[in-house]
């Protein structure tokens, strides 16, 4: 089987290679694709080196499967071309997610929606995946009326450059922080006081919290927040669920965390909520606050599971509860979920001869 990986040298692409190997996915020939400046570089997979190639060469090689993690513009341009060549595409960008003709899949929840006609399949947003996985059994059993979520998202969600920015700021922190000025009332950034270094955020991220992920929209929400709103409804197949989100970037390199408030349609017990969440494949309940047992991104890093805890009743609203949710956003939030979709395609006979 020929497998193309578009975005092979990026943070998620590198992790996809790792997950493919860990899960023994049958790759006979790897076709790593990256930007023009990366063509000719080497990537390691299954004990050998593979040469990064152009998208044109990869399409000409007629792969059976292409995993995409190279941004929306690349997916918009190249995913249809791979599909036209008879290749199944699993795309990690946001470009196809809300296309009514494309499936948005978390395999444990709605893998049944994929058919033989699907050649471009969308991988959901990382924050959405970890939220809907523990909530899917709750919705099936009790019905969900409303979700209020606040996220605490790792810099890994922005890639290698964000990690570099945070680490550089930590190195420069002591001398520069003494000179750090606040932005003026017109919103000018404070980055100039930190000297010249590559930055992907408008402000320092070390020792800081940015209530700003992706661009702001006319309704005051960011694109990241509206992704969670819209994708949740599509994955859970229920447009009646009311969802509101605030997404925040924090100086963490281990995974995403979320504080979630859920209002259900039916009454429940907390033990029922814990049991429902624990029943979902890939969800681990860590909920014993009296012994300081609760999920943390430091311990979720490198794992595929979604961890939930701090499960408690919201005493201000009838039939509502709060919980804390943590997951490695690069694994289950991106690479692992994509490889799980690929495995589902394989198991259904939709890949290869």
Check 256, 265, 291, 325 and give the catalytic one.
Answer: 256
Domain boundaries, the chain: 2-124+334-347, 128-157+211-329
Q: What's residue 197's pLDDT?
A: 74
Q: What's residue 177's pLDDT?
A: 54
Ranges of the chain with pLDDT below 70: 174-196, 353
Q: Among this protein's residues, is 87 annotated catalytic? A: no
Q: Among this protein's residues, is 126 annotated catalytic? A: yes
Is there a common fold for 2-124+334-347 and 128-157+211-329? no
Q: What's residue 185's pLDDT?
A: 47
Nearest to 176 by CA among 201, 195, 199, 154: 195
Q: What's residue 193's pLDDT?
A: 47
Q: What's residue 173's pLDDT?
A: 75
Name the CATH code of domain 128-157+211-329 (choices 3.40.190.10, 3.30.360.10, 3.30.930.10, 1.10.8.190).
Answer: 3.30.360.10
Q: What's residue 151's pLDDT?
A: 98
pLDDT tens figures, 313-345: 999 999 999 999 999 999 999 999 999 999 999
Nearest to 329 by CA among 257, 280, 260: 257
How far is residue 91's CA from residue 266's CA, in Å, rounded to a whole number?
36
List b or e across 129-157, with b for residues whose CB sees 16 or more CB atoms inside 10 angstroms: bbbbbbbbbbbeebebbbbbbbbbbbbbb
Q: What's residue 180's pLDDT?
A: 52
Residues 6+ apart with CB under 8 A from 268: 142, 319, 321
| Residue 48 neighbours by CB distance under 10 Å | 9
Q: May I ask the CATH class of domain 2-124+334-347?
A: alpha beta
Give the CA distances from residue 340 to residues 97, 162, 199, 215, 315, in Å, rounded to whole numbers and listed in that order: 17, 27, 33, 30, 38
Q: Answer whether 257's CB lies under 8 Å from 156's CB.
A: no
């Amino acid at each position: 089987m020929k497998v193309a990986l578009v975005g092979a040298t990026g943070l998620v692409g590198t992790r996809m290679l790792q997950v493919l190997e860990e899960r023994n996915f049958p790759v006979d020939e790897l076709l790593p694709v990256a930007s023009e400046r990366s063509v000719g570089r080497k990537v390691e997979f299954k004990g050998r080196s593979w040469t990064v190639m152009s998208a044109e060469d990869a399409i000409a090689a007629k792969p059976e499967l292409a995993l995409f993690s190279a941004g929306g513009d690349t997916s918009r341009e190249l995913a249809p071309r791979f599909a036209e060549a008879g290749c199944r595409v699993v795309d990690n960008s946001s470009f196809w997610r809300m296309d009514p003709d494309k499936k948005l899949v978390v395999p444990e929840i709605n893998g049944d929606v994929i058919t033989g006609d699907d050649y471009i399949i969308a991988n959901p947003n990382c924050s959405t995946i970890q939220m809907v996985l523990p909530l899917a059994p709750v919705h099936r059993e009790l019905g969900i009326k409303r979700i209020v979520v606040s996220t605490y998202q790792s810099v890994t969600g922005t890639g290698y450059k964000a990690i570099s920015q945070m680490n550089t700021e930590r190195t420069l922190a002591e001398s520069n922080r003494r000179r750090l000025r606040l932005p003026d009332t017109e919103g000018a950034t404070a980055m100039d006081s930190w000297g010249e270094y590559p930055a992907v955020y408008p402000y320092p991220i070390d020792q800081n919290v940015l209530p700003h992920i992706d661009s702001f929209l006319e309704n005051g929400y960011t694109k990241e927040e509206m992704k969670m709103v819209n994708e949740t409804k599509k994955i859970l197949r229920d447009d009646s669920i009311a969802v509101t989100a605030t997404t925040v970037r924090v100086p963490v390199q281990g995974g995403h965390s979320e504080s979630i408030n859920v209002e259900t349609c039916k009454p429940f017990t907390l033990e029922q909520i814990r049991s429902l969440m624990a029943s979902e494949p890939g969800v681990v309940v860590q909920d014993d606050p009296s012994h300081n047992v609760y999920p943390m991104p430091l311990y979720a890093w490198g794992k595929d599971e979604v961890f939930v805890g701090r499960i408690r009743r919201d005493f201000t609203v009838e039939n509502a509860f709060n919980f804390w949710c943590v997951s490695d956003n690069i694994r289950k939030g991106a690479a692992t979920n994509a490889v799980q979709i690929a495995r589902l395609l394989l198991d259904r006979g939709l890949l290869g001869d």
